[in-house]
Amino acid sequence: MTKTCKQRTDNRGTSRVIPLSSEVRLPKTRRDAQSSQDVKPVLRDIPQTMKRLSIRSRTTIYSLAAKGLLDMRKVLGKSLITEESIDRLLEEAPRA
């Protein structure tokens, strides 16, 4: 029977089991765990929204929000736009 795990104690006295097999590969960062294609942002800030909609003016974003075409939320003093409202605005826009 081969040994697949090793018991290790860190400097705080916490005991952990560490796999010895090279087949088990844990992600180094959160970005490695999920590719950026799998994760879609729920909220965008004003500059991100401007880029997504190809709008050069912050005032235009605020006026679209005032008309109810964009759903704006205030989180910790920062204005954020819901991705759902951006998608809805793009779908409802007439084709060129």
- The model's pTM: 0.58
For residue 21, give the DSSP letter. -
DSSP for 12-70? TS-EEEEE--TT----SSHHHHS-TTT---SEEEHHHHHHHHT---HHHHHHHHHTTSS
**The tokens of 96 are what?**
């060129």
The residue type of 44 is R
Domain ranges of the chain: 43-92
Q: What local confidence, expressed as pLDDT, does residue 22 receive?
A: 47
The residue type of 35 is S
Closest to 86 (Cα-Cα) out of 33, 43, 24, 23: 43
**The tokens of 22 are what?**
């090279």
pLDDT by residue (tens digit) across 46-59?
999 999 999 999 99
